[in-house]
Amino acid sequence: MKPFRKPFFRREEAPHRINDRIRVWEVLVIGPDGKSYGVMQTPDAILKAKQYGVDLVEISPNATPPVCKITDYGKFRYELAKKERENKKPNFAQKVKELKFHLNIDGHDYETKMRHAEQFMFKGMRVKFILVLRGREMIHKELGLKLMQKVKAEMSQVGNPDAEPKLLGKNISMMLSPLPAQKRVRKFTEEDIEDEIDTDDVETETSEERKA
């Protein structure tokens, strides 16, 4: 029978060395106000941090000499964790959603488009509206431009057009970018039902387009 061995647990080290755990003799010290104190002997730097009632935190161990900052270590770790969470958030600002419709779109489909567009822009996405002109509708381009101006007005509480609607071939297109978050106002949606539609799976065609 093999002798019983006590399981080995490796102690997780702090991501940054602080105070007496800093093992080098000299460090470049940054004060709590961001001002450089220059190179100091580590014991003197620790004493300086204690005078402020905070810690000496090694922030760049591979520099020559290592760089340390006088700061509250708990607050320092909180700010780092906050930045990491922000970096992990999906970047919707680079996403563009396309919404296609026709000149004779009915009221229900129009409301659906506006609701989707509002949801997208509340998530920080840009929205490209594309009005597809078919057959004789090309003769009435002014009606298409008028409808796009209506869309522009309907979306003014959540987004601004990058440019005025343009006719390109058989399509009239307009790109809208969301307003700053604090300026967005809901008109077609409610906050508590915003996430009921998966923005990655929304169809861009109306029921009339699917029949065509």
Parse the chain into domains and list their residue ranges.
Answer: 19-87, 92-211
With beta carbons less than 8 A apart as the criterion, state whether 174 and 152 touch: yes
Per-residue pLDDT of the chain (212 residues; tens, 9 = 90+): 455 454 444 444 557 899 999 999 999 999 999 899 999 999 999 999 999 999 999 999 999 999 999 999 999 999 988 888 877 766 665 689 999 999 999 999 999 999 999 999 999 999 999 999 998 888 889 999 999 999 999 999 999 999 999 999 999 999 999 999 899 999 999 875 444 444 443 444 433 444 44
With beta carbons less than 8 A apart as the criterion, state whether 204 and 109 touch: no
Rounded-to-integer distance, Cα 180 and Cα 14, Å: 38
Relative to beta strand 96-102, strand 126-132 is: parallel
- Helix (H, G, I), strand (E, B), or coil: what is residue 44? helix
Residue with tokens 């307003």: 179
Topology classification of domain 19-87: Ubiquitin-like (UB roll) (3.10.20)
Domain 92-211 carries which CATH code? 3.30.110.10
